[in-house]
């Protein structure tokens, strides 16, 4: 048996935590992801299956919804599904059986890295990072935008809690950008 050590996207054995003034950035590797794309002509059926899976209406443009298994909108008729890795390591399989023939599902867990930003004032950090209209963003919003030339999803869970998903291969650059913005703004 190989003696392998699990490391996070930033290369540590424990998630990286950075705090500047009242804002904390936490690397969050404990999440499983899968993407769902409704098949042509089966959009309504896919939305129904998705609603059943997340126990909430399928998120509309720029929204996220759900409980333990949650979904966020990524592009028309496409969503990303997120769930705790511990209990949903095989998330893509679970989503695939829930969606049936109505959608195509792709495993995404290791493609992304997630940073959770908590504290106050988050808006002053985020306005340095991205060009989103933060006044229009409220709890339940999600937007895709460029941070430090890296394409990211920005999820607003509450005004004091945001999650940023970026490509795992750019985790170092994204982390650098976030912490630099925190140091500049706070």
Partner 1 sequence: MIINHPLLGPRDAAEFTYLGDASMIDRPDWQAEDAAEAFYDYAYLRDNLAGEHRELWYHEAGDRSWLVVTRDTTTHEISKVELARDVARARGRSK
Residues that bind partner 1 (CB under 8 A): 40, 61-62, 74-76, 131, 133, 136, 143-146, 151
Looking at the DSSP bridge assignments, the partners of residue 98 are none
Q: Which is nearer to partner 1, 26 or 78 (CB)?
A: 78
Cβ-based nearer residue to partner 1, 146 or 184? 146
Minimum CB distance to partner 1 smaller for 5 or for 61: 61
Output the CA angle 155-172-76, nearest 5 degrees.
35
Of 41, 39, 165, residue with least CA distance to 105: 39
Phi, psi (rounded to 5 degrees) for 159: -55, -20
Of the candidates 143, 153, 163, 54, which has an alpha carbon nearest to the alpha carbon of residue 99? 54
Structure tokens at 162: 């945001």
For residues 56 and 145, which CB has a smaller minimum distance to partner 1 in the complex? Answer: 145
* Residue 46 to residue 18: CA distance in whole angstroms: 39
Q: How far is the CB of 141 from partner 1 (least distance, A)?
A: 11
CB-based contact 92:105 (threshold 8 Å): yes
> Least distance in Å: CB of 153 to partner 1?
10
Cβ of residue 139: shortest distance to partner 1, in angstroms? 18
- Which residue, chain included where needed, has tokens 């890795």? 85
What tokens does 94 get? 């679970």
Nearer to partner 1, 10 or 144 (CB): 144
Q: How far is the CB of 13 from partner 1 (least distance, A)?
A: 33
CB of 61 to partner 1, least distance (A): 5
Residue with tokens 């998120």: 59
């Amino acid at each position: 048996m190989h003696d392998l050590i699990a490391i996070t996207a930033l290369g540590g054995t424990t998630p990286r935590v950075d705090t500047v003034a009242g804002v904390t950035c936490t690397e969050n590797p404990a999440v499983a992801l899968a993407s769902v794309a409704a098949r042509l002509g089966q959009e309504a059926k896919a939305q129904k299956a998705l609603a059943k899976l997340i126990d909430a209406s399928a998120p509309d443009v720029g929204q996220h919804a759900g409980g333990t298994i949650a979904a966020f909108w990524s592009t028309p008729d496409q969503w990303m599904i997120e769930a705790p890795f511990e209990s949903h390591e095989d998330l893509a399989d679970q989503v695939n059986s829930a969606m049936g023939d109505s959608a195509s599902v792709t495993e995404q867990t290791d493609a992304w890295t997630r940073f959770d930003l908590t504290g106050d004032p988050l808006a002053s950090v985020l306005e340095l990072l991205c060009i989103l209209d933060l006044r229009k963003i409220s709890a339940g919003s999600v937007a895709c935008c460029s941070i430090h030339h890296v394409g990211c999803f920005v999820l607003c869970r509450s005004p004091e809690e945001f999650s940023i998903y970026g490509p795992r291969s750019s985790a170092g650059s994204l982390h650098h950008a976030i912490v630099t913005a925190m140091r500049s703004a706070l």
